[in-house]
Amino acid sequence: MREFVFTVEYERGVDEVMDLFIENPDLHSKTMAIHATSESMWRLDRLTGPTEALEAFDEVIEQATRCNGVLGMCGAPVVEWDYEVLSETPNGRIVYSCREEGDGIQSIPHVAAKHIGDGLLMQAERRGAQNQWRLLISDDDTVSEIYEEVKDSLSEGLSLSVQRISEPECWLEEGVSADGLPPEQQAALEAAVEFGYYETPRQHTVQEISEELDIPNSTLQYRLTRAEAWLARQFVTETLGTEVEERVDPEKLEASA
């Protein structure tokens, strides 16, 4: 299998929903599941962000689902749109949506379903002006077909870039893995949690924990600082951020087709 990762970037004013992401850099959306056929698309999305941005998102989506003539991704005409918030917190949502599209331009999930058929697996992530997609595809010919149709159907104000076509990554695990954390730093984190260092109020200081472990205070502090920095980077890159890899030249992709 090959993983095809590409991004559609939106100019301000082209799409009301994407404008919310552009105006609120901390607003983030990632699919938990997405399924599509040539007729319909179902998806679960996890949204996180400031309370005000999420409330604005709720309002925009509620208005859109009640209107006729709504345009979806890439300008695809939406015939029917069901939307429901399954879980809600001040800074998060899990939402379900089901959409049917009319004739003409189709959105990316429908294009992918048409070319891949049964067994379609895909992910999507929105942040800022970018809506990034990951597809699992069995051959390069299908990659080229999807790329060409998506590129040709983009409405004005949208642009397409390809991040990579490679062996699959980031499909089997979600969140932060400790594989890259040295054992002594893992042990330091475990001890800090066990002794209540991260509780509020803090139950033990680094000095007290180091005495219990019989290691220098400076050594434990160093290990904790390094481990915390590593965890922060992992969280941002694997859980929050979209990929920033070198973009594939579209001319090279077309030539390979």
What's the pLDDT tens digit per position in 58-82? 998 887 766 555 555 566 677 777 8
Q: What pLDDT was estimated at residue 40? A: 84
Residue 176: pLDDT band by 50, 70, 90 thresholds?
Answer: low
For residue 149, give the 3-state DSSP assignment.
Answer: helix
Q: Write the pLDDT tens digit of every residue in 93-112.
A: 999 988 887 777 778 888 89
Question: How many C-beta atoms lie closer than 10 Å to residue 181's C-beta?
Answer: 18
Q: Is the Cα dihedral 115, 162, 245, 16 positive or negative?
A: negative
Q: Among residues 175, 254, 240, 245, which one has the least CA distance to residue 3? A: 245
Of the pLDDT bands very low, low, confident and very high (cuts 50, 70, 90), residue 184 is confident
Q: How confident is residue 244, by pLDDT bands cut at 50, 70 and 90?
A: very low
Helix H or strand E segment including 160: strand 158-166
Q: Is residue 29 very low, low, confident or very high in pLDDT (cuts 50, 70, 90)? A: very high
- AA letter at 17: V
* Structure tokens that stand for 33 in this block: 């599941």
What gap in Å lies between CA 188 and CA 238, rounded to an integer?
Answer: 23
Question: DSSP class of residue 22?
Answer: H
- The H or E element that residue 132 is part of is strand 130-137
